[in-house]
A and B are shown apart, each in its own frame.
Chain A
């Protein structure tokens, strides 16, 4: 029994001494970056890419922590419940930040968080198969008006692509049938297999099919054309002012000390505007759409008010 007691004593002493050393300059221990989706998803990949240079900038490792589940609400909740010391940051997306809390009772709102900055605002593309008779948005709208309830579209329920197409259908007076999908890739498969007639999707999901000629883009739901797909006109150009653009960015829970927040913002700004990082990000995800903290906060508010009437019961 004796050696154990001595050992435990020694360990305890060690623990206390390291515990006392805390409360110095921020940051001085690893920071955990919560990703509310599974390892390997598009948000996760982007977060892992960001973690490395961000860690180098801050001088401590940034560890990606996957907390998937509940439409992203579990991880978001965990970021809120963590100590307010800035050692837990949240890689946040439209889904877990805006849409899930609007739709379900998850116990948080978008403004329970403080923005650090936006990393990506994906463009949404309305895609059809290459053999589809529709060449423009107008072709499709005319066909859908002629035969209400005939055409199927695939989308994950109540995420940005789905809601954006719903908005388009409402503004054009169309009746479309929703075939719910489990994710971006299954949706693209359903379009290629002919199970659905059209697919609103993140540009990254359909990029290779568009470039490979298997799909055709009818419209982009952004204010400007996507530089990666300059041939696809915006919906606005074709007479329908419908926008949608899911974001990925960083946030922390409200109540984190001012100086800590400032350190995080400075580090993030530096990394996100570094061209070397931008080049890397283009490779795995989509082009970076950096926004500083204040503007990112404004995006939250805009999206919250846009989607609230569509989702709240």
Chain B
């Protein structure tokens, strides 16, 4: 506590709070718009931070990061177009709630779950940074591979009734991730002689394609133009408020997802999307009522969003304790630290106590401000429900195209996005779930790099996956999931078949 008090002087300035708030607003907007991504926003904001106090500059970057990680859920819930890849897990149940006229519930739960998870993450960072770093270092290549396999088995639960189609989608995602430069040899593969394909399939084009473009086409197909209600939704209506039952279902889920998310955040190279999917899948398979999921389960929204935002503070663990950035955003912040003569690592806590304490306080302040700004921002975002589909979706398409240009400046990627949009639309129509495709694409590199690096470390001996304890635990979890999900699928089928046979008899 005394340690934290030294930091009060560092953060108690209007500049810090102004830039923190600005960062949060910018982050939420950037995060919510499909096509604009947080790393780009942080990179663009970097030059601004050099002109202000170090802590204020970092406050702005932290604000963009936290706001951006949360912002994707707003559009995911309201129009089924996730603004960030991680929010696609939120969309599964969140948008279903919107269709049932309970958008407010989903929005509020995603904000509260995010903020609670952030605060858990803040506390973990402040209290357990050093032991967590030691844990993070134990996640080497074999562990990454096994964790990836475990996360992949959860795809089974996300497949909504048709496991074969879900697995095909996941395999397709995994396969699409292997195009382009092979990360471990630098050779081009699967380029089919196309130089443009040397870059692989652009992740952002895939995300916007299968979600935004596909949703726009599906809306057009279903002619849902008139279904949206007229007039703004009132967040104070009972249908839009969280009741005790909602909290009873969600709180345990938020707790578990926050803790798992905090650990995922501390490991370099995993990130919020892995956490969101892992927690969503886990909550669904551990739930006593798994049938609620995918049909508007409030705890589904809670699991995805808590998992998503729980990484936002623990991601600073490797940066502060080891001096190693875990992702692009912390890499930029490392620059900002060094810019002010601060050397992250164990010495930072001893030599720069007040600054580190100030940084910690600022992160907690960011979480609290996130709650306030997010709650106020909700009023602005629900206004999109007043915009009718014929106006909204052309705009979403233009934003998608613009977003690709801003991120990759490549016409090829824009056409790729349209192609993925058509693919996503067809997948929707044919009953292939989309989330497994994205999970496969995200986990592909984790699994492949883990597998190949572990093979080299073990000099070709594959038992390394079983002899390293953490890796073995993950593989055991994977096996357990397969058994549980397989058993559920089997009993479900029998249940379905029996009524059908009775039908035939009559």
Contacts and interface: CB of A to CB of B under 8 A. Distances in A.
Contacts of A180: 183-185, 452-453, 456
29 contacts: A34-B409, A39-B407, A40-B42, A40-B328, A65-B409, A66-B409, A68-B199, A71-B198, A74-B410, A106-B198, A157-B186, A177-B456, A177-B459, A180-B184, A180-B456, A182-B449, A185-B326, A185-B331, A188-B324, A189-B268, A189-B324, A192-B324, A195-B457, A208-B343, A212-B346, A212-B348, A213-B346, A283-B338, A284-B338
A48 interface: yes
Interface in B292-322: 318, 322
Q: Which 4 A-B pairs have the closest CB atoms?
A: A69-B199, A212-B345, A208-B323, A70-B198
Interface residues of A, number: 56
Interface in B141-196: 141, 180-181, 183-188, 195-196
A67 B410 contact: yes
Interface in A104-125: 104, 106-107
Interface in B26-58: 37, 39-40, 42-44, 46-47, 50
A219 interface: no
B372 interface: no
Contacts of B37: 39
B140 to A, nearest CB: 5
Given A192-B137, A214-B323, A283-B335, A70 B188 contact: yes
Interface residues of B, number: 62
Contacts of B318: 189
A177 B455 CA distance: 12
A286 to B, nearest CB: 10
A40 B409 contact: no
A197 to B, nearest CB: 11
Nearest to A156: B186
A108 B415 CA distance: 24
Nearest to B42: A40
Contacts of A152: 456-457
A29 interface: no
Contacts of B199: 68-70, 74
Nearest to B269: A186
Contacts of B457: 152, 179, 195
Contacts of A48: 43-44, 46-47
A192 B267 CA distance: 13
Given A104-B198, A106-B198, A107-B195, A185 B456 contact: no
Nearest to B326: A185
A207 B50 CA distance: 20
B328 A179 contact: no
Given A66-B40, A214-B322, A207 B185 contact: no
Nearest to A69: B199
Interface string B324-351: 1110110110111011100111111000
A39 B338 contact: no
B453 A179 contact: yes
Contact of A45 (B186, B335, B348, B453): B335
Contacts of B335: 45, 283-285
Interface in A261-313: 280, 283-285
A209 B459 CA distance: 28
A171 B216 CA distance: 61
Nearest to B197: A70
Contacts of B445: 182
